[in-house]
Amino acid sequence: MTCAELTRVLADHFAGQLPTEVAHALESHAEGCPCCRSLVRTYGITVELSRDLADVAVPAPVAERVRAALRALAASKEPPR
Amino acid sequence: MIDADLVRQARQGDVDAFLAIVRACETRVYRIGLSFTRNPEDAADLLQETVLTAFRSLGTLQDLDRVEPWMYRIATNHALMLLRARRRRPEVSMEDVEGRFGEDGHRIGAIPAWPASVDDELERRRLAARLPELAERLPETYRVIWTLGDVEQLTMEEIAAILDLTVPNVKSRLHRARLALRKLLADELLGDGGAL
C-alpha cells in the first residue's frame, strides 16, 4: 500500500468497512511510515472530537417556548398544507 | 424510527402527535443550529422555525416513514439561509486536502505528530469546542456533511437523502472535510508551518 492509497481508504478504515487484507496492509504501511502513522492517528482524533460535540441537549426553556409557539400556531387553525 | 401512523395523526391536526415527532427530532435539530450558528439563541430560533415550518408543510411530506430526515432537511435549509445572510470567513481550498504524492504514490511533505497533550481530556474539550469555528472555513456543502455525518452521526444514506446527493459523493466529501479539519486543528496545535 502507498501513502496515496492509505489516504483514500481512511474513511472506510474508521467506519470498520475495510476488507481484512486491506486493513492489514494499512496497518503494515503505517507501521513503517511516520507520516501515515501520524495521519491515521490525527484523522481519528478529529473524528472523535467531532462526535464529542453531540453531547448537547435542548435547554428546557427553549423546548417549552417551541411547544408554546406550536400550540399557538395550531390554535390559530392554520391547517397543515 | 418514527411510526408512520403518528405522522398520519399529526397530518390530521393532532398536535400531541406532532409534538411526539418534535420530541424525537428536536435535539438533533437544535444541535444542527448550534453547529452552524455557534449561538444558542440562534439555534433556539432555528429549532422553532423548523418546527413551525414542518407543522405547516406536513401535508407535503411524501414518504411518511421519512419524517426525521425531512425535518433535518428543513433545519439544514433554514441554517444555510441564515448563514448566507452573514459574512463568511475565508474558505480553505479543498484542492490539495489529501496532500501531494509522488509518482510512486508516496507522500511529498511531512505530517508531524500532534503533542501528547491531545490525550488530555481538558485539551480535547478545548479542541472540540474550537471545531465549529474551524468548520466555518469549509465550503458550505462540506460543512453541512461534516455536521450531519460526524457531529450528528447520521448514516451516509440519510445524508444523501437530505441533501439530494449520491452516497459515494457524501462519503468522499465527508472524508475531505475531515482531512481539511484535521489540517486546521494541526495548524492550531503546531502553528501554521505549512505541514500537511
CB contact under 8 A, B48 and A65: yes
User: HSE-up of B72 (CA within 13 Å, CB side)?
Assistant: 25
CB contact under 8 A, B105 and A4: yes
Q: What is the pLDDT of residue A55?
A: 81
Predicted-complex ipTM score:
0.87
Residue B162 near residue B148, CB atoms below 8 Å? yes
The grid coordinates listed for B58 are: 406536513
Tell me the C-alpha distance between B131 and B121, whole Å. 15
| Greater pLDDT, A13 or B85 | A13
Is it the case that residue B6 has pLDDT exceeding 70? yes
Partners of residue A73 in chain B, C-beta under 8 Å = 52, 55-56
Closest CA to B80 of B32, B124, B113: B32
Phi/psi class of residue B3: alpha, beta or left (left: φ > 0; alpha: ψ in -120 to 50)? Answer: beta
Task: Please state the separation of Cα B14 from the chain's center in Å.
Answer: 31
Task: Give pTM, 2 decimals.
Answer: 0.87
Closest CA to B183 of A3, A53, A8, A42: A42
Residues in chain A: 81
Average pLDDT over residues B105-129: 90
Beta pairing partners, B108:
B100
- Which of B45, B101, B111, B147 has the highest number of chain A CBs within 10 A, making it the mutation to test binding with A? B111
Partners of residue B35 in chain A, C-beta under 8 Å = 53
Average pLDDT score over chain A: 92
CB contact under 8 A, B58 and A4: no
Q: Summarize pLDDT for B143-177 with one digit per residue, the tens.
A: 999 999 999 999 999 999 999 999 999 999 999 99
Q: Which of B11, B19, B152 shows the shortest C-beta gap to A80? A: B11
Q: What percent of chain B has a predicted confidence (pLDDT) above 70?
A: 97
Q: What is the pLDDT of residue B83?
A: 84
Q: Summarize pLDDT for B131-145 with one digit per residue, the tens.
A: 998 999 999 999 999
Residue A52 near residue B124, CB atoms below 8 Å? yes
CB contact under 8 A, B48 and A41: no
Q: Summarize pLDDT for A22-80 with one digit per residue, the tens.
A: 999 999 999 999 999 999 999 999 999 999 888 889 999 999 999 999 999 998 865 55
Burial label, B91 (beta-carbon count in 10 A; 0-12, 13-18, 19+): middle
Q: What is the pLDDT of residue B91?
A: 86
The grid coordinates listed for A69 are: 409557539
CB contact under 8 A, A74 and B55: yes
Work out the minimum CA distance from B193 to partner chain A, whole angstroms: 16
Residue A75 near residue A45, CB atoms below 8 Å? no
